[in-house]
């Protein structure tokens, strides 16, 4: 899954294609491509927010590991 930075980059790139570039290329609709990139970036950003909020928070003292190799756990 892409990170927050890539999502913001896609939104920014899409906005540039949509509103800043005035060139006309045959076969490519740059404003439509910009909208597609912005939608993909926004969806990715929202998915990142949802997935990061669903991760369990570590509890204090949860990293204690039994490293006594002479007495393995049962």
- Its pTM stands at 0.71
φ/ψ of 3, rounded to 5, equals -90, 180
Is residue 29 left, alpha or beta, with left meaning phi > 0 and alpha meaning psi from -120 to 50?
beta
Q: Is the pLDDT of residue 65 over 70?
A: no
> What are the sequence ranges of the domains in the chain?
4-54
At 26-36, the pLDDT tens digits run 999 999 999 99
């Amino acid at each position: 899954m892409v990170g927050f930075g890539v999502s913001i980059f896609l939104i920014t790139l899409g906005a540039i294609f949509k509103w800043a570039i005035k060139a006309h290329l045959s076969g490519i609709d740059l404003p439509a491509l910009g909208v597609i990139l912005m939608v993909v970036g926004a969806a990715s950003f929202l998915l990142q927010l949802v997935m990061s909020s669903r991760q369990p928070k570590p509890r204090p003292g949860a990293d204690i590991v039994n490293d006594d190799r002479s007495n393995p756990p049962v």
